[in-house]
Structure 1
Amino acid sequence: MAVHTPMHSTVGGPLSYTHPSPLPPGTLVRVRLGTRPLLGVVWEAPPDAEPVPAHVQLRALDAVLPLPPLDATWLRLVAFAARYYQRSLGEIAMAGLPPALRSATPEQLAKRLQPPAPKKPPRKSARAAAEAAVEPVAALPAPPEAAVTLSAEQRGVVDQIAQHPGPFLLYGSTGSGKTEVYLRVVQRALEADPQAQALVMVPEINLTPQLQERFATRFAPLFGPQSVVSMHSGMTEVQRLKSWLAAHQGQARILLGTRMAVFASLPGLKVIVVDEEHDPSYKQEEGARYSARDLALWRGHASGAQVLLGSATPSLESWHASDPAVGRYLRLHMPSRIGAGALPRVRLVDMRQQPKRTVFAPPLLEAITARVQRGEQSLVLLNRRGFAPVLFCTDCGWKSDCPHCSAHQVFHKGDRSLRCHHCGHTQRVPPACPSCGNPDILPLGKGTEQLEEELARLLRNVQRPDGQPARVGRIDADTTRHKGALEAQLAQVHEGEIDVLVGTQMVAKGHDFRRITLVAAVQPDGALFSSDFRAPERLFCLLMQAAGRAGRDAGYVSDQGSQPEMWVQTAEPQHSVFTALRQHDYPAFAARQLQERHDAGMPPFAFQTLVRADAKTQAAAQDFLRAVSDAARQGQLPHLDDVFLYPPIPMTVQRVANVERAQMLIEAADRRALQRFLHAWQPWLHWVRSQPQYKGVVRWLMDVDPLSL
C-alpha cells in the first residue's frame, strides 16, 4: 500500500494492510497511519519483500473507493519518479492525485459520481409544443478544421509525425503555427481510436484558458462538450477533482494542464504534447522536485504514446537530444511565420551612450510614441515586479532588508508597502529611515510599477488615432492576484483598450497579441553575469519569446504599413546573446552554449544533483552536509569514484523565513552511476540526520537535475 508517509521518514516504500478479498494494484482505498485517516493506493509487493512475521498483527483497510483501479502505466510512472527523484513512493503517488480525492470518503465519492438529475423543461403551450415538434434539431457545428489551410511546413511536419513513433522536438519560430500542428496530431489519434486520450501541457496557468478555448472550439463538435478538460493549481479542489475523474473514467478525451497534469490518470493515453518545453516552470521547485517534461517523455515511452515537444527556443538538453548524431528525438523544423509575417527587427540601444539614469532611451520612446499614434500596441518587458527592488537611505546607507530573509523587501508604491518576495513578510513604508531618522529615503532600481508610472508620464500628451490619450497598463503577479484579474486584463489588451503594456515574463510567452508591433526589454543585463551557468540560456529564451509577441498578425502589420520591432536596452551590445538575438539565430546560440558546456563538463554532458540542508544556523546546515559527504566516503558507497562531491556553500538567498540554507553539488559523467550512488546514500543521510548533534537541522532534500544553482 502506497501512502503519504511523513517527509524524510525511513518508511518510504509500501506498507502492509489486510482486506478480506484480493484487490488489484491501483485500487484506491482509505487507510489509517497511526491515528490519521489517509488515501492509499494498493501496490504490488516488491519482489524482495520479506513475509510479514506471524506475530505481527496488520491493520485492516478502512474502505475501498468506488473507482476503477489506476492503470499499470500510471503505477510504473509513480514508481519511476519516486526512484529517480529520490522521494518516497507514497509522496509521489499522492502528489499525482487531486487533494479533494485524498480526503474523500466512499460515500462522498459515490455521491459525486452520480449523474445529475435532469432538469424538468419549462411547460409549453400547446401551440409552442406543436411548433417545436416540427422544428428541425440543430446539428452540432462542423469543426473549423476545413477553414484552416496548413502551410507547406505544417503539412510536412504533420506527415512526419504520422510516419514515426517519436519522440519529436518541434522547433518552430514564434507564429509558425505550432498549435495547429498539435490540434491535427491530437485529432488524428482520437479519430483513429474511440478510447484514445491526449495530454496537452503548458508551462503556466495563464496560458491555459486561451488554449482550452481553441481546443474546445475544435473538438467539442466532434467529441462532445465534455471532451476537453483542464487541470492546474488555479482551479478549485472540486474543479480539479471533476477534471481528474473525467479523465480517469475516459469521459474526457483531452486534458490540458500545467506540470501537475503529467500525473493525471489517462488510461487511453496516445498523445502527449509539451508546449514551450524549454520553460523552467515544468520543474517543480517545492516538495518532490520532478521535471514534468522529462516525466512526460518517460510516460510516453512506457505507454506507447507519441510525445511531441514544441518550442521556438528549445532547452539545450532537448536540442542536444535531437541532434542527428545523438538521435534520441526526431527534430522537426518550421522556420516561417504563418501568413508570410516577418520576424521582428531587433534593435540594440547602447545605454552607455545615453544620459545617466535614463529609463527609456529617446529613440525607444519615439518608437513607442509613433506606434501609439498609429493605433498599434507595444509591450515593455521587465522581469521585476514592484516599484523598486529596495528603499535606500542616502545618509546612513540603510536598505529595506527583510527581517526574516537575507534579501531586500521590495517597495510597492500602490499600497505604500514593503514586501519580501521570498517569505511574504509585508510592512508599511516607514516615514523616515529606521536607522538614522533621515526622511529622505529613496527607491533604488526599477520595477514594473515604476515603469508603468514613468511611461504614463512620458506619454501623457500622446494621442491615439481616435484622439484619446495613450493608455498604459501593467500585468504582473501583483495585478493578477485576484481570481479573474488576469483574464480581464488580457481581454483589455486583445480589445485594444491598452496601448502600452508593461509586464514581466508572464506576458512574454505564449500569448497571441494581434496588435502588438513593438516589444522592448529595458533592463536585461543582470542575467549576463549570473553565477548560474544556465542564465544566458534563460535570458536568450525570454528575449526570443518576447520578440515573438510582435507582428504576429501579418495582415494587420501590412494594413498598418508597419514593421515589427524588438528593442533591447543594454550596456553590453556586443555580447554573444544579443548577437544571436539580432539574427534570430537560435541554432548558432545553442551551438556556442553547448560547446562551452561540453568543454566545462556541464549538463547535458554531465548530470547533477543538489543536496540542500535547512537549519537554525548556517554552520549547522554546512556541518550536516560535510558529515553526509564524509559518511559517503567512509562507507565506500557504490560508484563513489564516479561522482564528484563539491564542498557545501550557502545558497544565493541563504536565509528565508529565519531558516538558514546551504547546498552541496554532486556531479557525475554517467547518469546511472549517479542514480546508484544516490540510492545507496539515502540511508546514510537518514542516519546522520538522526544523530544528536544535528538536532538543529530542520530538513534536508535532494534536487535531481536542478535548473538553478
Structure 2
Amino acid sequence: MEPASFSSLLHDDAPPPPAPKQVRQRVAVLLPMPFPGPFDYAAPADMPLQPGDIVVVPLGRRQETGVVWESSPSLPADFAPPPQRSVDANRLRPVAELLDLPPLPAELRHFIDWVAAYTLSPPGMVLAMTLRLHMRGVPVPSMGWLLADPLPATLRITPARQKILDRLKDGIARTTTDLASAAGVGPGVVKGLADAKALQSVKLGPERIFAAPDPHHNPPVLEGEQQTATAALRQTVRDGGFSVTLLEGVTGSGKTEIYLEAIAACLEQGKQALVLLPEIALSAQWMQRFVRRFGAEPAVWHSEIGQRARRLTWHSTANGSATVVVGARSALFLPFANLGLIIVDEEHESLFKQEEGVIYNARDMAVVRARLSGFPMALVSATPSLETLANAEAGRYRHLILPSRHGGASLPDTQILDMREHPPPRGLFLSPALTEELSATFARQEQAMLFLNRRGYAPLTLCRTCGHRMECPHCTAWLVEHRAKKLLSCHYCDHTEPMPAACPTCGSDDSLTAIGPGIERITEEARQLFPDARILVMASDTLGGPATTAEAVAKISRREVDLIIGTQVVAKGWHFPHLTLVGIVDADLGLGGADLRAGERTIQLLHQVAGRAGRASTPGRVLLQSYTPMHPVMQALVSGDFDAFMAQEAEQRRPGFWPPYGRLAALIISADDAKEADATAAALARVAPYGEGIQVLGPVPAPIAVLRNRHRRRLLLRTVRTIAVQPILRRWLGMVKPGRTVRIDVDIDPISFL
C-alpha cells in the first residue's frame, strides 16, 4: 500500500482539530498490522511519551493498540525500508491513551525491526507476534489487607478473628483468600474485620504466578566430559557478552543436564533465561527434568495454553517475575525484562522455521536477538545442521563435543535389513528378520519401538477397476486414509471426507484399495503378529496434548507398554531405559525428490530415532529396513560416522554456493487463477536480477502446485555468501505489480521446497 493511500487512515478525511497553544510532541506509532512502517501521531501536552510506550491511537473510525517507535540504530543500511511520506503536523491525530503496561524494551524493538528487514516483512506483522494477543484483559493488581493502626477500641475479638489478627502481625499484606486459608477460617471472618474497620486495604504488587526456580536446589553430579563442558558453558554465562556455543553430543550424553547448569548460572546473576524446544507441547519428560533440577516449573509458552495463561506469562516476562520460560518459536518475541541466555534445543529441527505469515527461522533469529542484546546463547543437538557446523568450523561458534553416553551406556548397534533379501510377506511391511527380533525382545521382557514417519493408514487410495486415485479437491496431494475414523484426509489443508463405499469415477463397489503403509497399518500388522503385546501409538494426532503425552510417557516408564509405534514425535529426546530395540520400517522415506536437504534431514531424523535404544545398562539394537542399503545415509547410520556424512554434504554444496556456502531466497507466487500466477511469475522472470555471483532459477510450478485452491509458482534467488539478497529482492519486487488476487511470499533461507 502506498503511503499516500494509507495516510487517510490517520485523519479519516475529517477537518483537523484546532491546534492547541502548546507545542505537541510528534511520535511514530507502530501498529500490529501489515503497514510498511509506523504512523505519526501527536502526543497531548499532558502525555509525554517515550519509545516503547504502549498506546491506543485512532485509525480511521476505530482505535488500535500500538507502540511508540523510533528508528533502529542496529539496522544495516542495505536492510532499511524506504522512507515514508510525512503527514503535516496540523493534520496529526492525537494519541488517545497511554496504557499502564511495561514499555517494550529497546532491545526487543530493535530486534523486531531487524527481523522485519531480514525477512522482508511489514514490521507491524513482526510486532504482532509480541503484542496482538496479550493487551486486553491485563491482570489487575490484587487487593490485600493489613492491620488498622490503631485497632478500633470497640472491636469484638473472637477466636476466629484472633487467628486473622495474629497472621497479620508480621506486616505482610495478604489477599482475602490467602489470609483465610492461612488462618484456617472462612472468608466471612476477614470481611467482618474489614467492616469493623480493623483492616485496611492495600494494592498488592503484580501477581507472581510462577515460583522462582532455585539454581542451588538439586545440582547434578557430573563427571569427565560432562563436567568439562558444563564448566565451560557456565563460565561463558558468567563472562557475559554475546557468544554462540554449539553443544553437540551423541544421544544420551546428558546435553540437557549440561545446559540446565548454564541456566542455573544465568539465574545466579539475577537474569532471565529462554529455552526454545521444537515441540514444547510434547516435552513432558523435559519438564520433569527441569523440576527435579530447580524445584519449580518454568513458565510455558506454546499454542496449547489458554489466553489467560498467555496474558499472565506475557506480563510475567515483562515484569521479570518469570525467570525461566520454555516455549515454541514464538516465545522468542516475548518482552523479557532482563534476558540473559537463550538455549535452542534440537537446533537442527525444521519445526523452528515458521512457514506462514512472517517466515522466519527461530534458531537463526535467536542468534540475532542474543547479538543485539549482548548475551550468550547455546545451540544444542546430537545432529547439528550443516549451517551450524559451518559456523563452528569458521570459528564464529564455539564447539563443545560429548562423544559418549552418560553413565557408561553404549551406543546402539545399527544394522541394515536389505528388503530385497529379507522381503516381507505379500501385503505386509515388516521383514521376517525384524519380527524375529521383536519376538526375542518381548521374550526378554524388554521394550521395542517401530518408527514410520507417516500418519494414517495409507498414503494413497486407488480403484483397482479404473485406476482412479483419491485426490484432495483443494490441493495437488493424495488423500490419506485414516481407517480408524473412516475418513480420507489431506495433510496440507485439513480437508476431510468420508471413505466412500464405491469408486467415485467408475462406481465399482469395494474396489478402493490402500497403497503403502501408514502408522495405523503398521499397528494393525503388529497386533496380528503379536496379539499379546501391549502396544502404544505415539503420533501427533493420537497424543492430543501435554496431558495425554505425559500419561503415555508414564505408562512406558512403568513398563506397561511392550511396543511403541510412532512417527517423528518419538524422536524428540525421550529417555526410556527399558527400550532396547528400534525398528525403522521405511528408512528410505524422505530421500526421494530434489530437496536440497533430503539427505541431511533423513540422517538427522533416523539418528535421533535410533538414539532411543539402549540408553541404560542394556545394550540397544537398531534395524533399518531399506531397499537402498548402499545409500550414503544408510552407510553413515551403520558406521555411526555422522561427521563424515556432513563433510561429504558440505563438499557437494560448496562448488555451487548452495547454503550454507551461499545465500538462497524463494519467491512463492500464488493466485486464485493459474493464468494469473503464471503471468506474475513470467513478469518476475523477465526483470530477474543478474550479475556475477547472482543466479535466478525458475519460474516453475511448486511441488505442491495447488494449495488450498491457490495455484503456486516458485523462483529461487541464489547468490554467493558476500552478496545480501534483501536489497536485490526489494528492488526486484518493486519492478512488478502483481494482480489483485496474486500474493508473493518471500522465504529467506528456505528449508521446505514444497
- Give the TM-score taking structure 1 as reference length: 0.87
**Distance in structure 2 (CA, Å) of the matches to 1:87 and 1:114:** 43
Higher deviation after alignment, 620-629 or 653-662 = 620-629
Partner amino acid, structure 2, of 1:85:
T
Please state if 1:329 is matched with 2:389.
Answer: no
Which secondary structure does the structure 1 equivalent of 2:664 belong to? Answer: strand
CA deviation string 1:234-257 (max 9, x = no partner): 111221221121111000111111
Structure 1 unmatched ranges of 5 or more: 126-139, 461-468, 558-562, 634-638
Structure 2 unmatched ranges of 5 or more: 1-28, 74-81, 145-174, 186-211
**Distance in structure 2 (CA, Å) of the matches to 1:250 and 1:143:** 16
**Distance in structure 2 (CA, Å) of the matches to 1:264 and 1:186:** 18
3, 7, 14: which one aligns with 2:38:
14
**Distance in structure 2 (CA, Å) of the matches to 1:488 and 1:378:** 18
Please state if 1:34 is matched with 2:60.
Answer: yes
Which secondary structure does the structure 1 equivalent of 2:417 belong to? Answer: strand
Which secondary structure does the structure 1 equivalent of 2:582 belong to? Answer: strand
In the TM superposition, what is the alpha-carbon distance from 1:45 to its structure 2 partner?
4.9
Please state if 1:519 is matched with 2:543.
Answer: no
The alpha-carbon distance between structure 1 residues 632 and 17, as it changes in their structure 2 partners (threshold 3 A), is: farther
What pairs with 1:210-609 in structure 2 (closer than 5 Å)?
210-220=285-295, 225=296, 228-323=298-393, 326-355=394-423, 356-439=426-509, 440-460=511-531, 469-481=532-544, 484-554=547-617, 557=618, 563-609=619-665
Q: Is the 8 A contact 2:249 2:255 kept in 1?
A: yes
**Distance in structure 1 (CA, Å) of the matches to 2:688 and 2:113:** 25
Q: Is the 8 A contact 1:621 1:662 kept in 2?
A: yes
**Distance in structure 2 (CA, Å) of the matches to 1:252 and 1:505:** 31
Q: Is the 8 A contact 2:280 2:326 kept in 1?
A: no
CA deviation string 1:11-34 (max 9, x = no partner): 311111222133111111223333
Which secondary structure does the structure 1 equivalent of 2:734 belong to? Answer: helix
Q: Is the 8 A contact 2:281 2:545 kept in 1?
A: no
Q: Which residue of 1 aligns with 2:31?
A: 3
Q: Which residue of 1 aligns with 2:727?
A: 676
Q: Is the 8 A contact 1:551 1:564 kept in 2?
A: yes
Q: Is the 8 A contact 1:399 1:408 kept in 2?
A: yes
Q: Which residue of 2 aligns with 1:137?
A: none
Please state if 1:705 is matched with 2:739.
Answer: no
Higher deviation after alignment, 671-680 or 326-335 = 671-680
Q: Is the 8 A contact 1:65 1:109 kept in 2?
A: no
In the TM superposition, what is the alpha-carbon distance from 1:159 to its structure 2 partner?
2.3
Q: Is the 8 A contact 2:116 2:123 kept in 1?
A: yes
Q: Which residue of 2 aligns with 1:111?
A: 140
Identity over the aligned pairs, expressed in percent? 35
Q: Which residue of 2 aligns with 1:184?
A: 261
**Distance in structure 1 (CA, Å) of the matches to 2:221 and 2:497:** 56
CA deviation string 1:668-697 (max 9, x = no partner): 103543122123334335xx12xxxx2342
In the TM superposition, what is the alpha-carbon distance from 1:593 to its structure 2 partner?
0.6
**Distance in structure 2 (CA, Å) of the matches to 1:49 and 1:601:** 33
In the TM superposition, what is the alpha-carbon distance from 1:114 to its structure 2 partner?
7.0
Q: Which residue of 2 aligns with 1:204?
A: 279
In the TM superposition, what is the alpha-carbon distance from 1:274 to its structure 2 partner?
0.6
In the TM superposition, what is the alpha-carbon distance from 1:335 to its structure 2 partner?
0.8
What pairs with 1:645-664 in structure 2 (closer than 5 Å)?
645-664=696-715
The alpha-carbon distance between structure 1 residues 523 and 232, as it changes in their structure 2 partners (threshold 3 A), is: same
In the TM superposition, what is the alpha-carbon distance from 1:512 to its structure 2 partner?
1.5
Partner amino acid, structure 2, of 1:57:
R
What's the Cα RMSD here? Answer: 2.3
The alpha-carbon distance between structure 1 residues 452 and 50, as it changes in their structure 2 partners (threshold 3 A), is: closer
**Distance in structure 2 (CA, Å) of the matches to 1:393 and 1:676:** 51
The alpha-carbon distance between structure 1 residues 517 and 380, as it changes in their structure 2 partners (threshold 3 A), is: same
Which secondary structure does the structure 1 equivalent of 2:299 belong to? Answer: strand
Q: Is the 8 A contact 2:685 2:699 kept in 1?
A: no
The alpha-carbon distance between structure 1 residues 615 and 53, as it changes in their structure 2 partners (threshold 3 A), is: closer
The alpha-carbon distance between structure 1 residues 100 and 213, as it changes in their structure 2 partners (threshold 3 A), is: same
Q: Is the 8 A contact 2:412 2:621 kept in 1?
A: yes
**Distance in structure 2 (CA, Å) of the matches to 1:122 and 1:71:** 38
Which secondary structure does the structure 1 equivalent of 2:347 belong to? Answer: coil
CA deviation string 1:205-242 (max 9, x = no partner): 2344432332233224xxxx57x211111111221221
The alpha-carbon distance between structure 1 residues 54 and 396, as it changes in their structure 2 partners (threshold 3 A), is: closer
The alpha-carbon distance between structure 1 residues 124 and 708, as it changes in their structure 2 partners (threshold 3 A), is: closer
CA deviation string 1:312-335 (max 9, x = no partner): 000000011101xx1110111001
The alpha-carbon distance between structure 1 residues 640 and 684, as it changes in their structure 2 partners (threshold 3 A), is: farther
Partner amino acid, structure 1, of 2:470:
S
In the TM superposition, what is the alpha-carbon distance from 1:483 to its structure 2 partner?
6.9
Partner amino acid, structure 2, of 1:342:
S
Which secondary structure does the structure 2 equivalent of 1:233 belong to? Answer: coil
**Distance in structure 1 (CA, Å) of the matches to 2:59 and 2:569:** 41
In the TM superposition, what is the alpha-carbon distance from 1:147 to its structure 2 partner?
6.2
Partner amino acid, structure 1, of 2:53:
T
Which secondary structure does the structure 2 equivalent of 1:549 belong to? Answer: coil
In the TM superposition, what is the alpha-carbon distance from 1:498 to its structure 2 partner?
1.7
Q: Which residue of 1 aligns with 2:93?
A: 59
The alpha-carbon distance between structure 1 residues 650 and 142, as it changes in their structure 2 partners (threshold 3 A), is: closer
**Distance in structure 1 (CA, Å) of the matches to 2:244 and 2:654:** 24
Which secondary structure does the structure 2 equivalent of 1:675 belong to? Answer: helix
Q: Is the 8 A contact 2:588 2:627 kept in 1?
A: yes
Which secondary structure does the structure 1 equivalent of 2:542 belong to? Answer: coil
Tell which structure's C-alpha radius of gyration is larger: 2
Partner amino acid, structure 1, of 2:138:
L
CA deviation string 1:538-586 (max 9, x = no partner): 10000100011111122xx2xxxxx301110000111111111112211
CA deviation string 1:452-509 (max 9, x = no partner): 111011001xxxxxxxx21112111221346733333233222222211111101112
Higher deviation after alignment, 346-355 or 642-651 = 642-651
Q: Is the 8 A contact 1:173 1:334 kept in 2?
A: yes
**Distance in structure 1 (CA, Å) of the matches to 2:452 and 2:508:** 31
Q: Is the 8 A contact 2:370 2:376 kept in 1?
A: yes
Which secondary structure does the structure 1 equivalent of 2:484 belong to? Answer: coil
The alpha-carbon distance between structure 1 residues 519 and 254, as it changes in their structure 2 partners (threshold 3 A), is: same
**Distance in structure 2 (CA, Å) of the matches to 1:306 and 1:187:** 14
Partner amino acid, structure 1, of 2:68:
V
The alpha-carbon distance between structure 1 residues 241 and 564, as it changes in their structure 2 partners (threshold 3 A), is: same
Q: Which residue of 1 aligns with 2:105?
A: 71
**Distance in structure 1 (CA, Å) of the matches to 2:632 and 2:664:** 26
Partner amino acid, structure 2, of 1:452:
T
Partner amino acid, structure 2, of 1:695:
R
The alpha-carbon distance between structure 1 residues 183 and 665, as it changes in their structure 2 partners (threshold 3 A), is: same
In the TM superposition, what is the alpha-carbon distance from 1:60 to its structure 2 partner?
2.2
